[in-house]
Structure 1
Amino acid sequence: MHTARRWLQGTAVALVLSLSAPAWAEIWGFVDKRGVSHFADHQVDRRYELFYRGGQQRAARKPPGMAPGAAYAPQLQARFAVSTSYKAVRHLIREAATAYGLEYELLKAVIATESGFNAHAVSPKGAVGLMQLMPDTARRFGVKADTHQTLQERLTDPRTNILAGASYLAWLLKYFDGETELALAAYNAGEGAVMRAGRRIPNYRETRDYVRKVTQLHQNLLPPRTLSRQRTATSSTGILPGQGALPTAKL
């Protein structure tokens, strides 16, 4: 998917974070008056509060037994807890994650990065909604216009958008044999771009930044025990827990 995202009305989520420990970057954020979450790797303006820096949590300690090098940002969780736009759709994220065998925190991280939970976000290239789906991609995964709404209008419906986007993400994970970073790169740049790069993350700055953003946000959202189990499972199988056959959900 082509997602050269620069969201209208300042709803972009910027989380330019490093993939490798221990070089964890800072995470700053705030929730605006509309309940839209905003994150960045630096203090964009005075609204942004620092709640994670370089492997240490502001005013918090890592829980006992946490995996070495793992990130844990309780204040990041608190930001989501006060985001009305997130709270309005979290049940839909849970529904889609369950329907398509995805990890809830991964799907949540993708949506946060794509749109900041703004259901009406539209990119300059025409990607629509919470998961910033291009119309052609949405058609591939079951979204159609009807007598009352255009396809683009249907994509502003949170449930329709999340289910279609989750279906696409699950398909990408299966297509790339459970390699999450490749699936995320394909979600951003298209599976063709990943294949042309030799089944590697394409050398596009935007795509590499995107993979870093989602990966680090995902890891920061995981409960410590889940993160530890996931790393163990991934190291032994290369596939994230919960991946497998893809069920379908009615859009």
Structure 2
Amino acid sequence: MRIEVVQKERKPFVLFPLLAGLLLFFALSFSSPFTAWATVAAYIDVQGNLHYMRGKSSRTDKKIAIERPVPRSSRDLSYQTINAFIQAAATEHGVDPYLIKAIIKAESNFDPAAVSPKGAQGLMQLMPATARDLQVDDPFDPQENITGGTKYLRSLLDNYDGDVVLSLAAYNAGPGKVKGRIPNIIETRIYIAKVLDNYQSYRNCR
């Protein structure tokens, strides 16, 4: 008597596609420059190349925001170009260009696209309300930012009778917190020391 063994047709392992999908999801989540739930912003640079950047985290679906191209670091602008903007603003508003440069170094480290946790923007870290008051349409435009920031600095120097230290304190903490003396704010005191150190270094290298 012969027993025939009938092999049943093997069904595909149904969990494999699921596991593969999960692995792909996690791989993309950790390797992609965008995290899950991230808002994606896109812009086209002057060469016509499309770029994406990660926005603020959110658990709601948002439309892709198309933003104008902005320099991502000082490497996108030559030293001569930024220095020319500084010199022009310094001449227009009667401010020492080395002081402007010292503030930019302390505020953004020459990153035109810098944004602080409090929302200050660009090279001289202008708050949106301040930028509007100074008629700066685009805080991320280096020339506009430097011109507006220098104009603001000039107004502070005038308000504090040319006192650089008090003007720097007001630039950092806001004029409302500077009443004839440096406010007892650690961040502001550190900021003043940093700017003055930068200022001295630039003057020594001229």
Asked if Structure 1 and Structure 2 have the same fold, meaning a TM-score greater than 0.5 normalized by the shorter chain, the answer is: yes
Q: Describe the SS at the equivalent of 1:133.
A: coil
Structure 1 counterpart of 2:101, from 74, 94, 108: 108
Residue in structure 2 matched with residue 188 of structure 1 by the alignment = 172
Give the residue type in structure 2 aligned to 1:118. Answer: D
TM-score, normalised with respect to structure 2: 0.61
Establish whether residue 122 from structure 1 lines up as the match of residue 103 from structure 2. Answer: no
> Could you tell me how far apart the structure 1 residues matched to 2:120 and 2:172 are?
11
Identify which of 86, 97, 105 aligns with 1:93: 86
User: Contact 2:169/2:182 (CA < 8 Å) preserved in 1?
Assistant: yes
Structure-2 change in CA distance of 1:85 and 1:186 (3 Å): farther
AA in 1 matched with 2:181: R
The aligned residue for residue 202 of structure 1 is 183
- Which of 173, 176, 198 lines up with 2:160 in the alignment? 176
Q: CA deviation at 1:223?
A: 4.0
Q: Which runs of 4+ in 1 moved over 3 A?
A: 83-88
Q: In 2, distance between residues paired with 1:84 and 1:134?
A: 22
Matched residues, percent identical? 48
C-alpha separation in 2, matches of 1:216 and 1:108: 12
* TM-score with structure 1 setting the length: 0.50
Question: 2:74–2:112: 8 Å Cα contact kept in structure 1?
Answer: no
1:46-61 equivalences in 2 (<5 Å): none
Kept in 1: contact 2:172–2:188 (CA 8 A) = yes
Structure-1 residue corresponding to 2:197: 216
Structure 1 unmatched ranges of 5 or more = 1-33, 37-82, 145-153, 227-251
Contact residue 120 and residue 156 of structure 1 kept, 8 A: yes
Aligned Cα root-mean-square deviation (Å): 1.9
1:158 Cα deviation (Å)? 0.6
| Cα distance in structure 2, aligned partners of 1:162 and 1:35 | 14
Q: Find the aligned partners of 1:139 and 1:206 in 2 and give their Cα distance.
A: 25
1:165 aligns with 2:158: no
Is this contact kept in 2: 1:102–1:170, CA < 8 A? yes
Return the alpha-carbon distance in structure 2 between the equivalents of residues 164 and 35 of structure 1: 19
SS in 1 for 2:94: coil
Flag the structure with more relative contact order, 1 or 2, with Cα contacts below 8 A and sequence separation at least 6: 1
Deviation string 1:23-42 (CA, Å, 9 cap, x unpaired) is xxxxxxxxxxx556xxxxxx
Is contact 1:94-1:104 (8 Å) kept? Answer: yes
Q: Distance in 2 between matches of 1:200 and 1:107?
A: 22
For structure 2, the residue ranges without an aligned partner over 5 or more in a row are: 1-72
List per-residue Cα deviations over 1:71-109 (Å, max 9, x = no partner).
Answer: xxxxxxxxxxxx965443110000001110000100000
Please state whether the residue corresponding to 1:202 is helix, strand or coil: coil
Deviations along 1:126-147, one digit per CA (max 9) or x if unpaired, are 1000000001111222224xxx
